[in-house]
Chains A and B, each alone.
Chain A
Amino acid sequence: MTDVTVDTGYTSPSISALDPEAVRRRVAQRRAAEWRFQAYGVAAITFGLLCVALLFTVIVAKGWPAFLQSTLKLEVAFDPAVIDPAGKRVTDDIMAADYQALAAAAIYKQLGIAPDDAVATALADGLLSTGADVDLRKLVLADPSIIGKTQSVYLLANGNVDAVLKGAIDRAVPEASRQIKDQQLAWVDQLVTGGRLSKAFNWGLFTRGASSQPETAGLGVAVIGSFFMMITVLLVAVPLGVAAAIYLEEFAAKNRWTDFVEVNISNLAAVPSIVFGLLGLAILINFVGLPRSASLVGGLVLALMTLPTVIIAARAAITAVPPSIRQAALGIGASKMQSIFHHVLPLAMPGILTGTIIGLAKALGETAPLLMIGMVAFVVDYPRTPLDPATALPVQIYMWSTAQERGFVERTSGATMVLLVFLLAMNLIAVILRRRFERKW
């Protein structure tokens, strides 16, 4: 290109020297290209926002019925002959009684069916949840004096009845391929008009444990398990993370070791979460011998996973405190440790707290590592300590999502809504904290 000889007097063609019409056309083209490019950007953002909207719409649309549950109001006769034939009022005997029979008797009476009509009773049984006995047993154990009396009791209806009330079963489908029979449908309508069958807020979703029946399955165990895990994460990851951040930010010399630690932390933050689960399985369960399915193990795994997040947030918060504060403290004779713990740390606290909450939110929604350490467990009873078997909210969602029954499908989305509400609340707190304590130096 250098063989082109041009003397210094050569003037570049100016835009004013070009044909004005050609310039106008070219500028119009460039403006069109500019407009197209902006349109791509708007389209990308619109797509993202649509995804947000779609995601929430789908989950809420599928999940809200889970917060309502069909309930039967029945006059249950607590027949001593069924509950405690020996009449000794021993807990073991009361525990072992056939409560489902009580519930069944109540519904036969309500519908006017003879108890010896095998066909009708079988159909009527299908209106009741098979978990109704648990609730009745609880009632009797809480107050044995009701034995022998007749009381109005709210009992769970069967999942199919629930589906009918929520309009999820199409009555036009031929009886043979419908999960609920014509006779049962007639009864349902009769009970609804009689005010005996209605939908009520589903408290059981929050209080019950695992169950193979959707209507008696709840998030109780999962919520407690998640709570234990969050406490563990808080107690392990936050002190460790803040201490590590203080060391790296305030004390560590700039050398290879510090570099290594830093690279390590940023890499750890990007390690797939499932790998932390493998770590927990190999070390905490196989080597140390902690029990599987325990929320302590889950908490420790999540704590290790959250640690880099806390360290990074804490370091950012500590660097944001201006050096003048440290110098002021050192200048009046405080030791370095004193200047950090008395002055720097309190000022960095809001930032650390915000980072911690965001880390906790991430840990709360994490599923994969918990699958590795046996949190996929069928746990009926509330865990009392972090060493008892438990599940976690996202794991419960996973387990329900693999179940086929209609009731579980809505519960899966319902549980997701519960999880999302928790997460939104945590993020909101983080945002408020940040706004409240934001400080410009």
Chain B
Amino acid sequence: MVAASDASVLNGSGAKTLTGPGAHSGKISARDVNVFYGENQALKSVNVGIPERSVMAFIGPSGCGKSTFLRCINRMNDTIAGCRVTGKITLDNEDIYDSKLDVVQLRARVGMVFQKPNPFPKSIFDNIAYGPRIHGLAQSKTDLEGIVTASLKKAGLWDEVKDRLKEQGTGLSGGQQQRLCIARAIAVGPEVILMDEPCSALDPIATARIEELIDDLRKNFTIVIVTHSMQQAARVSQHTAFFHLGSLVEKGETQQIFMAPTDKRTQDYITGRIG
């Protein structure tokens, strides 16, 4: 993806012309996205493109709107009363806020991993099988077992749990639980995986494993990760977008954002002056 020059984004006003084709290309593209919680505007005119089969990180101080934007991409904001989204977000050039599109199908294509590991109070097997079952992805029991095994393997959890698939998912350690949740998301065969600070509740060792996993998954999936930790963004992502006070301030290749930010606010954040 090509980093757009974003002078127009900086002023945060609505009408603008976008320069550079990058804003519209890629797996996902957002154009002039505004989000309101009741009277409050949480996101102001966000424009961004997310390239396929790579990791994009959203960084910024807390309350900057990065998680809000992430939740727009699979319409999880629909579940919050009083939340309103304007603008256009496309997945493979298909408007995801189109009234004809079923949100259930969208979420099967855009999976999500949350801040706190949230395995269902079911067995490990049933946790993974939940998604394929509701979407009717498996034709037979063997099929389903294949999906579960493959997902656990891809999430790097297989060796740890292969002998106790019938045990409760909640009995695993925090890091294992989070990998279980990733496996659960993988099992429905999504094209995009959204991760909302997936490591914030984990210890450094578990974090390292998840980061390795993310790097691995990049080969098959488009990954968007929201993170508090700039080091993590630098480690796992190829592209980074910096959010501040509800606006997307700067975006580009990770290397460039961290080495040579063009915006003063990005600079201040990276050097630790705001945050």
User: Are A and B a genuine interacting pair, yes or no?
Assistant: yes
Which listed residue, B102, B109, B142, B186, touches A12 by the CB 8 Å rule? B186
| Given A2-B162, A26-B136, A30-B104, A12 contacting B147 (CB threshold 8 A) | yes
Cβ contact within 8 Å between B150 and A12 = yes
CA distance A47 to B191 in the complex (A): 45
A8 to B148, CA, bound (A): 11
Inter-chain contacts of A11 with B (CB < 8 A): 150, 189, 220
Given contacts A6-B153, A27-B102, contact A14 B132 (CB under 8 A): no
Q: Which residue from chain B places its CB closest to the CB of A2 in the assembled complex?
A: B162
Contact residues of B: prevailing secondary structure = helix
* Shortest distance from the beta carbon of B212 to any chain A beta carbon, whole Å: 14
Minimum CB–CB distance for B75 against chain A, Å: 15
Question: How many Å from the CB of A129 to the closest CB on chain B?
Answer: 62
Given A1-B125, A22-B136, 13 additional A-B pairs, CB 8 A: A1-B145, A1-B148, A8-B153, A10-B150, A11-B189, A12-B186, A14-B108, A14-B188, A15-B188, A17-B189, A18-B136, A23-B105, A30-B104
Give A15 to B146 CA distance when docked, in angstroms.
Answer: 16
Pair A15/B150 contact, Cβ less than 8 Å? no
Query: Across the interface, which residues of A come within 8 angstroms of B145, CB to CB?
Result: 1, 4
**A22 and B191 alpha carbons, distance in the complex (Å):** 20
Interface size class of A (residues with CB under 8 A): 20 to 34
Contacts of A30 in B (CB 8 A): 104, 134
A2-B162, A18-B137 known; A12+B151 contact, CB < 8 A: yes
Q: Residues 101-132 of chain B: 1 if any A CB is under 8 Å from the residue's CB, otherwise 0?
A: 01011001100000000000000010000001
- Give A362 Cβ to nearest chain B Cβ, in Å: 34
Beta-carbon nearest neighbor of A26 in chain B: B136
Shortest distance between the CB of A182 and any CB in chain B (Å): 69
CB-based contact A1/B165 at 8 Å:
yes
A-facing mask of B130-163, CB < 8 A → 1, else 0? 0010111110001001111111011000000010
Q: Does A112 contact B (CB under 8 A)?
A: no
Query: Are B150 and A16 touching (Cβ within 8 A)?
Result: no
> For residues 178 through 227 of chain A, which have their beta carbon under 8 Å from a beta carbon of chain B?
none
Answer yes or no: B190 CB below 8 A from chain A CBs.
yes
Is B187's CB within 8 Å of the partner chain A?
A: yes
Q: Which residues of B contact A27 (CB under 8 A)?
A: 102, 104-105
A1 to B161, CA, bound (A): 13
Determine the distance from Cα of A30 to Cα of B108 in the docked complex, in whole angstroms. Answer: 14
Residue A13 at the B interface, CB < 8 A? yes
The verdict on A12 contacting B188 (CB below 8 Å), with A4-B145, A4-B149, A26-B136 known, is yes
Judging by beta carbons under 8 Å apart, are A16 and B186 in contact? no
A38 vs chain B, min Cβ distance (A)? 15
Given A6-B150, A18-B137, are A12 and B189 neighbors across the interface (CB < 8 Å)?
yes
Contacts A4-B145, A26-B136 given; indicate if A14 touches B191 (C-beta within 8 A): yes
The answer to whether A15 and B154 touch across the interface, beta carbons within 8 angstroms, is no
Q: Which of B108, B136, B149, B151 contacts A2 (CB 8 A)?
A: B149
> Which A residues have a C-beta under 8 Å from some C-beta of B?
1-2, 4, 6, 8, 10-18, 22-23, 26-27, 30-31
Q: Is the CB of A4 within 8 A of B189?
A: no
Expressed in whole angstroms, the minimum distance between the Cβ of A114 and any Cβ of chain B is 82
Chain A residues within an 8 Å CB radius of B147 = 12-13
- Set A4, A14, A31: member contacting B109, Cβ < 8 A: A14
Closest Cβ–Cβ distance, residue A123 to chain B (whole Å): 72
The interface residues of chain A lying within 8 Å CB-to-CB of B137 are 12-15, 18
Cβ of B191: which chain A residues have Cβ within 8 Å of it? 14, 16
CA distance A30 to B107 in the complex (A): 14
**Digit string of B5-49 for contact with A (CB within 8 Å is 1, else 0)?**
000000000000000000000000000000000000000000000
CB-nearest residue of chain A to B128:
A12
Separation of A216 and B146 alpha carbons in the complex (Å): 83
Q: Could you say which residues of chain A place their CB within 8 Å of the CB of B104?
A: 27, 30-31
Can you give 27 contacting A-B residue pairs, CB < 8 Å?
A1-B145, A1-B148, A1-B149, A1-B165, A4-B142, A4-B145, A4-B149, A6-B149, A8-B150, A10-B150, A11-B189, A11-B220, A12-B151, A12-B187, A12-B189, A13-B138, A13-B189, A14-B137, A15-B105, A15-B189, A16-B109, A17-B189, A18-B137, A23-B105, A27-B105, A30-B134, A31-B102
By a CB distance below 8 angstroms, the chain B residues around A14 are 108-109, 137, 188-191
A27-B101 Cα distance, complex, nearest whole Å = 11
Min Cβ gap B180→A in Å is: 15
Closest Cβ of chain B: how far from A18's Cβ, in Å?
7
Contact of A4 among B108, B146, B187 (CB under 8 A): B146
Q: Which residue of B lies closest to A20 (CB)?
A: B105
A27's nearest neighbour on chain B, judged by CB, is B102
A368–B135 alpha-carbon span in the complex (Å): 55
User: Are B151 and A15 closer than 8 Å at their CB atoms?
Assistant: no
Q: Give the residues in chain B near A17, CB-CB below 8 Å.
A: 189
Residue numbers in A under 8 Å from B186 (CB-CB):
12
